[in-house]
């Protein structure tokens, strides 16, 4: 039962991390671009992204913590002996590290830089450049997060146990 709860928490963390990314990219940010008042648009964007930053940070932390447990459990259960399982899990963990790094860069570098530029009323061209980098980082994070979900599905499928042992 304990293993099932840990796995559920892992899945819950992934859902809470990835779901809002999809919502922000597909719904919230396009809607915010229609707000005519630049100051109101900045304030709303800041409130939404701060809220997601807290929620996403907690969810990502939950995924990392439960991921360590799941990794240890996979080793104990002998799953690492299957070639495909071993390879897919290693790719998944590597991508998870990249997602953590991209998330940190997005929030702590681009997010802070955008806020600083907006607060000092920097030229729109300068803000737009940082915003582009921020959006590219967000889209890369979302894309990799979706690939990680695919890899998780592969790990849970019979495909991972075909192909022999390592």
* Alpha carbon distance 137, 115 (integer Å): 16
* pLDDT at residue 70, rounded to an integer: 92
Q: Which residues pair with 82 in a beta bridge?
A: 165
Predicted confidence (pLDDT) per residue in 91-130, tens digit: 999 999 999 999 999 999 999 999 899 889 899 899 999 9
Kindly state the greatest CA–CA separation across the chain: 61
Predicted confidence (pLDDT) per residue in 3-60, tens digit: 899 999 999 999 999 999 999 999 999 999 999 998 898 899 889 988 999 999 999 9
* pLDDT at residue 125, rounded to an integer: 92
Contact 88, 151 (CB under 8 A): yes
Contact 116, 126 (CB under 8 A): no
Q: Which domain holds residue 57?
A: 2-161
143 pLDDT more than 80: yes
* pLDDT at residue 39, rounded to an integer: 85
Phi–psi pair at 165, nearest 5 degrees: -95, 160
Contact 165, 82 (CB under 8 A): yes
* Alpha carbon distance 97, 41 (integer Å): 32
Beta strands in 5-155 (DSSP E): none
* pLDDT at residue 166, rounded to an integer: 64
**Beta-carbon contacts of residue 67 (< 8 Å; ≥ 6 apart):** 10, 93, 96
Please check whether residue 166 lies inside any domain of the structure: no
**Residue showing tokens 């930053």:** 53
């Amino acid at each position: 039962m304990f293993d099932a709860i840990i796995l559920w928490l892992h899945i819950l963390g992934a859902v809470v991390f990835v779901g809002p990314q999809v919502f922000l990219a597909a719904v919230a940010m396009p809607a915010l671009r229609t707000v005519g008042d630049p100051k109101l648009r900045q304030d709303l964007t800041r409130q939404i992204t701060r809220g997601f930053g807290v929620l996403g940070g907690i969810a990502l932390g939950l995924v990392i913590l439960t991921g360590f447990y799941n990794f240890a459990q996979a080793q104990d259960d002998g799953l690492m002996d299957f070639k495909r399982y071993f390879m897919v899990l290693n790719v998944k963990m590597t991508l998870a590290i990249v997602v953590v790094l991209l998330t940190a860069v997005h929030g702590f570098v681009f997010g802070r830089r955008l806020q600083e530029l907006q607060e000092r009323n920097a030229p729109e061209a300068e803000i737009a450049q940082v915003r582009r980098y921020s959006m590219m980082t967000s889209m890369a994070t979302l894309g990799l997060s979706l690939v990680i979900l695919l890899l998780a599905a592969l790990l849970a499928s019979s495909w991972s146990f075909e192909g022999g042992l390592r």
